[in-house]
């Protein structure tokens, strides 16, 4: 009734406004097509149908946006435009580029329909959706999970498999977090895939590289838990329907070829796998647009989460436990600056993270006495898109077959080194800018896709990559000294023949860079991962400042600290997320009420 009354008032106000002399928006009736570039540069194409006085229908004709990430934008924005009869609609948080593309495409179509775009863009029409109810809704389950990224969904699914009912609260309009936009590499010792490729590996080697790669600052117990459960958790994902490719590769900063690549692009495979389980099983309630704002204890246990939803305050009771899986703080400039002790000022450095990675779970955990560890350890990559900071557009397919050169065309670092080592070396170059150089071994044809589901041809068309038949032409294309570039490639090729190490200490090699065509892609430093966070034990229980377990509270994923030390190995994030998410869910489900 309240909604009907509110809508009636809005309609009355509209008619009053018209009666006071405001001109009706008029169109030339028909169906019109409009286009605008999306996040990857490809056009979002929409078809808009209007009659003489109103926008009637919006249909999507072409959409190459990231699956999962852009879904909420395509669902909400056309509805908002039609309901409000306005272009002054809000973008969807986490899908800003896609949102702007949708609004831009509708604008182009309406221009063709003869609309007054200035009038349509002026002021936001009030609607019932803008009225936030002050009602309070109480919900009950065995477990409340805060965050619907990879760790939160892993926890929800594993808890449900153990018989628990679960409520998942997600502040963003869509699920997925950083997982869904990640490169998705998953490190695991896997003889079935590694041995046929001649790769010798062991769990102890994975442990040693993780521990030493973080300057021996990670918790050995947590690291052992992660590496020992990496492959069993991969098998668990496969049992849920997720598919991985057969080839193993070395991801940037991974130090060893043990990375698995999902069949689905980016991290969509992980999220789709969990969401498919949730849709097919009872007992998991998932709320988006619902921000957790407080935790409460009952009888000494954390058991209640207060959250603000789109039309009510939510009080979610977890009779067994609460699990925090809210991600890191890579997109929170204030927190980055507060804790950064290692890097130059990060204020103007872009990030690979989605906009919801603001560290909300840290404040929630501290309210109930949780300890935070390693907060100064913030990981940067040398692989950010110069314009957006994202990992998209990166032309590399693996570590072994490419080199980095600066604006002079010279190599400056071991391209198989730790991520922090490579990024610190990049900061020492002019404009902290580099080119990734590789050849036809990686892209024999331009329809080959990178690790972010973009074809080389798309990147060339968008001006995000360059191609030439020889190194002299490539040097001219990207504006570097041709002699320097040729010398850098020749030096690399000699090291490949010798099997390394080269002058930079590089030991990871595969093919020479000698097979036309040659390619280049520009990259800059970008904030990628925050290694610090909530202190946990091997059971994913949260630890307080006195070293004691906080009853009823668990945490998993990037919101936690103490696993990776000062530097995270490439390919270990998805392991951390899924292993500890699964552990948190299982152990929370085993709690007594």
**How high is the pLDDT of residue 36?**
83
On the question of pLDDT at 120 being above 80, the answer is yes
519 closest CA partner among 428, 420, 446: 446
pLDDT at 505 over 70: yes
Report, as an integer, the average pLDDT of 147-158: 98
Which CATH number describes the domain made up of 380-526?
3.90.700.10
Residue 15 pLDDT greater than 50, yes or no: no
Say if residue 428's pLDDT is above 80: yes
Clarify whether 3 is annotated catalytic. no
CA distance 333 to 343: 13
Task: Please give the Cα distance from 104 to 107 (Å, whole number).
Answer: 5
CB 277 within 8 A of CB 128: no
Q: How far is 575 from 266, CA to CA, in rounded Å? A: 15
Rg (CA), the chain: 26
Q: Going by C-beta distance under 8 Å and a sequence separation of 6 or more, which residues neighbour residue 37?
A: 43, 44, 101, 104
Reported confidence tier of residue 536, pLDDT bands at 50, 70, 90: very high
CA 509 to chain centroid: 29
Among 77-86, 161-170, 302-311, which stretch is predicted with the lowest mean pLDDT? 77-86
Average pLDDT over residues 294-322: 95
From the list 419, 464, 506, 523, the catalytic residue is 419
**Taking 60 as the threshold, does the pLDDT of residue 2 lie above it?**
no
Lowest mean pLDDT of 50-64, 207-221, 295-309, name the range.
50-64
Ramachandran category for residue 127: left, alpha or beta (phi over 0 → left; psi -120 to 50 → alpha): beta
Provide the pLDDT for residue 70. Answer: 79
pLDDT band at 427 (very low <50, low <70, confident <90, very high): very high
**Best CA proximity match to 482, nearest among 437, 441, 545:** 437
The vertex-358 CA angle with 154 and 279, nearest 5°, equals 30
- For the chain, give every domain's residue range: 10-128, 136-186+266-377+531-589, 380-526
pLDDT of residue 88: 87
Of the candidates 134, 132, 125, 133, the residue with the CA atom closest to the CA atom of residue 10: 125
Q: Is the pLDDT of residue 18 over 50?
A: no
What is the CATH T-level fold of the domain 10-128, as seen in this structure? Sufe protein. Chain: A (3.90.1010)
- Eight-state DSSP code of residue 536: B
pLDDT computed for residue 112 by the predictor: 85
Q: Provide the pLDDT for residue 26.
A: 84
Mean pLDDT of the chain: 91
4-42: b (≥16 Cβ within 10 Å) or e: eebeeebeeeeeeeeeeeeeebebeeeebebbbebbbbb
What's the gap between Cα 288 and its chain centre?
17
Residue 284 has pLDDT above 90, yes or no: yes
* Domain boundaries 136-186+266-377+531-589, corresponding CATH code: 3.50.50.60
What pLDDT, on the 0 to 100 scale, is given for residue 25? 59
Give the tens place of pLDDT for each residue, 36-69.
877 656 678 899 999 999 999 999 988 877 666 7
**pLDDT reported for residue 38:** 74
Among residues of the chain, what percentage have pLDDT more than 90? 77
Reported confidence tier of residue 420, pLDDT bands at 50, 70, 90 = very high
Q: Are 132 and 310 in contact (CB under 8 A)?
A: yes
- The pLDDT, as a whole number, for residue 6 is 31
Where does the pLDDT of residue 21 fall: very low under 50, low under 70, confident under 90, or very high at 90 and above?
very low
Residue 127 above 90 pLDDT? Answer: no
**Mean pLDDT, range 454-478, rounded to an integer:** 97
The 8-class DSSP code of residue 546 comes to T
Give the C-alpha separation, 45 to 104, whole Å: 10
Which of 107-111, 471-475, 500-504 has the weakest average pLDDT?
A: 107-111
pLDDT band at 7 (very low <50, low <70, confident <90, very high): very low
pLDDT score at 63: 83
Write down the pTM of the prediction.
Answer: 0.83
User: HSE of 368 in the Cβ direction (CA atoms, 13 Å)?
Assistant: 29
Q: Classify burial at 157, counting beta carbons within 10 Å of its beta carbon; exposed 0-12, middle 13-18, buried 19 or more.
A: buried
Cβ-contact 589, 164 below 8 angstroms: yes
* Residues forming a β-bridge with 296: 304
């Amino acid at each position: 009734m309240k909604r009907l009354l509110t809508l009636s008032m809005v309609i009355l106000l509209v008619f009053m406004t018209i009666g006071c002399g405001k001109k009706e928006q008029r169109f030339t009736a028909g169906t019109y097509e409009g286009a605008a570039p999306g996040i990857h540069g490809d056009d979002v194409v929409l078809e808009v149908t209007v009659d003489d006085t109103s926008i009637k229908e919006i249909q999507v004709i072409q959409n190459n946006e990231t699956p999962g990430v852009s879904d909420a934008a395509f669902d909400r924005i056309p509805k908002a435009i039609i309901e409000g009869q306005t272009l002054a609609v809000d973008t969807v948080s986490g899908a800003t580029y896609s949102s702007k593309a949708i609004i831009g495409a509708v604008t182009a179509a309406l221009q063709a329909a003869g609309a007054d775009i200035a009038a349509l863009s002026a002021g936001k029409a009030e609607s019932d959706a803008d009225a936030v109810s002050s009602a309070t809704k109480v919900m009950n389950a065995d477990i409340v999970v805060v965050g619907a990224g990879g760790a939160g969904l892993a926890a929800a699914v594993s808890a449900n498999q153990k018989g628990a009912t679960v409520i998942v609260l997600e502040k963003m309009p869509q699920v997925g977090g950083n997982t869904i936009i990640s490169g998705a590499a998953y490190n695991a010792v896997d003889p079935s895939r590694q041995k046929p490729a001649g790769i010798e590996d062991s769990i102890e080697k994975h442990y040693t590289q993780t521990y030493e790669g973080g300057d021996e600052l990670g918790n050995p117990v947590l690291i052992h838990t992660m590496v020992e459960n990496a492959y069993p958790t991969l098998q668990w994902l496969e049992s849920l329907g997720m598919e991985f490719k057969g080839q193993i590769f070395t991801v940037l900063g991974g130090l060893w070829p043990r990375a698995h690549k999902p069949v689905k692009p980016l991290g969509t495979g992980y999220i789709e796998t969990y969401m498919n389980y949730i849709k097919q099983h009872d007992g998991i309630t998932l709320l988006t647009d619902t921000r957790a704002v407080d935790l409460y204890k009952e009888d000494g246990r954390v058991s209640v989460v207060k959250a603000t939803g789109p039309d009510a305050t939510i009080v979610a009771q977890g009779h067994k436990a609460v699990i925090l899986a809210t991600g890191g703080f890579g997109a929170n400039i204030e927190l980055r600056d507060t804790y950064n002790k290692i890097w130059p000022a990060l204020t103007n450095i872009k990030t690979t993270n989605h906009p919801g990675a603001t560290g909300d779970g840290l404040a929630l955990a501290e309210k109930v006495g949780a300890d935070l560890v390693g907060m100064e350890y913030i990981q940067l990559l040398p692989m950010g898109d110069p314009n957006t900071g994202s990992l998209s557009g990166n032309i590399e397919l693996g570590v072994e077959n490419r080199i980095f050169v600066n604006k002079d065309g010279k190599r400056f670092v071991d391209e198989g080194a730790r991520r922090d080592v490579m990024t610190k070396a990049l900061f020492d170059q002019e404009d902290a800018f580099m080119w990734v150089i590789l050849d036809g071994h990686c892209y024999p044809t331009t329809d080959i896709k990178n690790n972010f589901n973009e074809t080389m041809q798309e990147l060339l068309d968008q001006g995000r990559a360059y191609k030439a038949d020889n190194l002299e032409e490539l040097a001219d294309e990207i504006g570097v000294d041709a002699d320097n570039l040729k010398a850098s490639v020749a030096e690399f090729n000699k090291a490949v023949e010798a099997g390394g190490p080269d002058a930079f200490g590089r030991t990871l090699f595969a093919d020479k860079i000698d097979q036309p065509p040659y390619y280049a892609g520009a990259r800059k430093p970008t904030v990628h991962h925050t290694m610090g966070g909530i202190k946990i034990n091997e059971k994913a229980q949260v630890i307080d400042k006195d070293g004691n377990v906080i009853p009823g509270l668990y945490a998993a994923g990037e919101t936690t600290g103490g696993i990776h030390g000062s530097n995270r190995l490439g390919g270990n994030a998805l392991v951390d997320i899924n292993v500890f998410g699964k552990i948190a869910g299982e152990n929370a489900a085993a709690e007594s009420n």
